[in-house]
Structure 1
Amino acid sequence: MLLTILYIIGISAEAMTGAISAGRKKMDWFGVMFVASATAIGGGTVRDIILGHYPVGWIKHPEYIIITCTAGVLTTLIAPWVARNQRLFIALDSIGLVVFSIIGCRVAMDMDLSPLICIIAAIVTGIFGGLLRDFICRQPPLVLHKELYASVAMFSASLYLLLHWYGIDEIIAVVVTLISGFCLRIVALKFSWSLPVFHFEQEQTEQ
């Protein structure tokens, strides 16, 4: 129940950030709803297809499509408010990232897949929505540049798996993972933590 509530909050926040990106590209309402939904539930869709986990989440629960499309259209009406409350949406996005990671890990665990695949499933669930948003909107993939994002998904999944390995109660495991992953994401943003960046420019050869 807790994960379901947090998931709905997470996909709503992700849908609104996707709608803002669509607005910057001057898309119509259909484009807004498409980008909003791709951002919010695209990661879970890609995960389910890769793992062969059917039916895909939003087909089993079509209300998620209604939620994301509604959040996208709503954003077109309150876009200035969304822009002014960027910190709130960063917090909601951080919660959503950890929740998506836990759910992705849980899906793979329920399929009796190896811990490595569980972690990969968590990362795919956490970051692919943002990758799809950036691809559709033709902008650099933000989740793979500088700030910790995929790393937070990997950390959250690893912690969740570790807690289960030691037989920790499910609710406690979820709460501990949620708080730890959220704090890591916020602290990383505050202090600009990032992984080493690879930068390569090929030298021009003289003709």
Structure 2
Amino acid sequence: MLTPIYLIAITAEAMSGALAAGRRRMDIFGVAAIAFVTALGGGTVRDVVLGHFPVGWTRHPEYIAIVVGAGLFTTLVASRLRHLKQLFLVLDAMGLVAFSLIGSEVALGMGYPAAVVLMAGMLTGIAGGILRDVLCNQVPEVFRRELYASVSLLVCALYLGLLAAGLSPERSTAIAFFGGLALRLAAIRQGWRLPSFSYSERWD
């Protein structure tokens, strides 16, 4: 179920990375690098942290062609993409949930405890965007946007809870995916956010 969604998601994430690179006026190599990191960085960080080798995209080199190609294609059609903002938001939401579930599945398959599974799923979901923003010299959007990382964490927790309740992996994946997608889209529409923290007092 998640494989076609994953392919759509990494394509969309690569395009969003290319747009971020364009806003920083990067050259073509920079565009390709940011597209790659945005799309595949989360899975790479997860695999390195968990010791899951070889890293996912090294076993599927076609993913490199997909994300780099999507990034470079974006440079040709960027002026038209502003009309597709809502579509990108939906694809990004799908990607967040799919990446989170895939990360959870990888950690579960390696026998890690629940706490590690939760963190692995969340890392897979959000690390690519964090790397993109750090490389583009801005505060990661995941720390400023509507519910995002928290959605990833809730999706992973729901998936584990459903498995613990005795549901099959397939049903658990489907329920967690659609539940997480609905929550993320509702957060976008309603502007739901976690409380922010502001501190400006100086310690002299």
TM-score (norm 1): 0.96
Runs of 4 or more consecutive aligned structure 1 residues displaced over 6 Å after TM superposition: none
C-alpha distance in 1 between matches for 2:168 and 2:178 = 16
C-alpha distance in 2 between matches for 1:38 and 1:154 = 21
Matches for 1:133-172 after TM superposition, within 5 Å = 133-172=132-171
Paired residue for 2:28? 29
Please report how far the alpha carbon of residue 167 of structure 1 lies from its aligned counterpart in structure 2 after TM superposition. Answer: 2.1
Please report how far the alpha carbon of residue 204 of structure 1 lies from its aligned counterpart in structure 2 after TM superposition. Answer: 7.2
**1:146/1:24 Cα in 2 relative to 1: closer, same or farther (>3 Å)?**
closer
Please report how far the alpha carbon of residue 146 of structure 1 lies from its aligned counterpart in structure 2 after TM superposition. Answer: 4.1
Matches for 1:14-93 after TM superposition, within 5 Å = 14-93=13-92
Structure 2: gaps (5+ residues): none
Structure 1 contact 156–178 (Cα < 8 Å) conserved: yes
Specify the code of the residue in structure 2 equivalent to 1:108. Answer: A
**1:74/1:129 Cα in 2 relative to 1: closer, same or farther (>3 Å)?**
same
Specify the code of the residue in structure 2 equivalent to 1:76. Answer: T
Specify the code of the residue in structure 1 equivalent to 2:128. Answer: G
C-alpha distance in 1 between matches for 2:60 and 2:29 = 21
Task: Name whichever of 137-146 and 124-133 sits farther off.
Answer: 137-146
TM-score (norm 2): 0.97
Specify the code of the residue in structure 2 equivalent to 1:167. Answer: G
C-alpha distance in 2 between matches for 1:145 and 1:202 = 21
Matches for 1:114-193 after TM superposition, within 5 Å = 114-193=113-192
C-alpha distance in 1 between matches for 2:84 and 2:30 = 23
C-alpha distance in 2 between matches for 1:139 and 1:203 = 23
C-alpha distance in 2 between matches for 1:169 and 1:79 = 42
Partner SS state of residue 96, structure 2: helix
Structure 1 contact 146–197 (Cα < 8 Å) conserved: no
Give a deviation string over 1:29-54, Cα, whole Å, max 9, x none: 11111000100010100010000000
Please report how far the alpha carbon of residue 83 of structure 1 lies from its aligned counterpart in structure 2 after TM superposition. Answer: 1.9
Percent identity between the two aligned chains: 46
Partner SS state of residue 195, structure 2: coil
Please report how far the alpha carbon of residue 81 of structure 1 lies from its aligned counterpart in structure 2 after TM superposition. Answer: 2.1
C-alpha distance in 2 between matches for 1:38 and 1:146 = 20
The alignment covers a number of residue pairs equal to 204
C-alpha distance in 2 between matches for 1:167 and 1:78 = 47
